[in-house]
Amino acid sequence: MPRRHKTPEERQRLKMLILDAARQLFIERGIEAVSMREIAKRMAYSPTTIYLHFADKNDLLQTLCDNDFLILANDLQHINASSKQDITEQLRQLCTAYSRYALAYPNHYRFMFMTPKPVNSKEKSRIRQGNVEQDAYAFLRSMVTQAFEQQVFRPELQNIDLIAQTMWAGIHGVCALEISMIEDDWVDWQPIEQRVFLMQEALIQGLVRPRPVH
């Protein structure tokens, strides 16, 4: 029973309904269970209705993802609050918070950082790039910049993006291996907390200028 000229609020509500159904399916039964037909079934609409609000499946997933990026960025915010602590301690906390997020929502994380995406996805995103409150990379980068200005890194390290990307890659590596290989009993995996912790410490030790020995 269609109504002509749905209000923008109603259109938004339906869009949310789609996203909610998708997210629920995503969480309950994993990413491979998320099909357009399944989403539609769950919200008691026909599959093609979804295409009135999203260009295609990827667009839908991308939108779903945007939300998760915001949640991640938001999770990181509270670190800065306790800014009495020194900057390396804050970097440590950043590593911990990031890995906690990744391991708490492995399905989301997989889609966010472990799946190649079409190139056009940036323009459509509603996240404001570079905004520290919405863009987790920007947050990391700004923290690294702070540390850099306090000259905590080894003197030969002069490229802020390179430092930030290396830290990211380190923690990402631990989380990504955990998510992909958790079922694999080929390797005698050590506890994930220990792996995160050692990576974090190794990165700090490896990148930070050694304290002068008296």
Partner DNA sequence: CCCAATAACTTTACACCGTTAAATTAACAG
Partner DNA sequence: CTGTTAATTTAACGGTGTAAAGTTATTGGG
What 8-state DSSP symbol labels residue 31?
G
Q: By the 8 A CB rule, do 55 and 115 touch?
A: no
| Interface map 126-155 toward its own copies (x if CB under 8 A) | ---x-----x-x----------------x-
Helix (H, G, I), strand (E, B) or coil at 208: strand
Please say which residue, 21 or 174, places its beta carbon nearer to its own copies: 174
Pick from 57, 68, 117, 148: which binds its own copies (CB under 8 A)? 117
Under rule CB under 8 A, residue 55 binds its own copies: no
Q: Which H/E stretch holds residue 188?
A: none
Helix (H, G, I), strand (E, B) or coil at 104: helix
Q: Shortest Cβ distance from residue 84 to its own copies (Å)?
A: 26
Q: By the 8 A CB rule, do 164 and 137 touch?
A: yes
Pick from 51, 113, 137, 148: which binds DNA (CB under 7 A)? 51
Report the alpha-carbon distance of residue 172 to residue 46 in Å, rounded. Answer: 38
- Number of neighbours of residue 195 by Cβ within 10 angstroms: 17
Q: By the 8 A CB rule, do 170 and 102 touch?
A: no
| Interface map 8-47 toward DNA (x if CB under 7 A) | ---x--x-------------------xxxxx------xxx
Residues that bind DNA (CB under 7 A): 1-6, 11, 14, 34-38, 45-49, 51-52, 56-58
Residues that bind its own copies (CB under 8 A): 113-119, 121-122, 129, 135, 137, 154, 157, 159, 161-163, 165-166, 168-174, 176-177, 179-190, 194-195, 198-199, 201-207, 210, 213
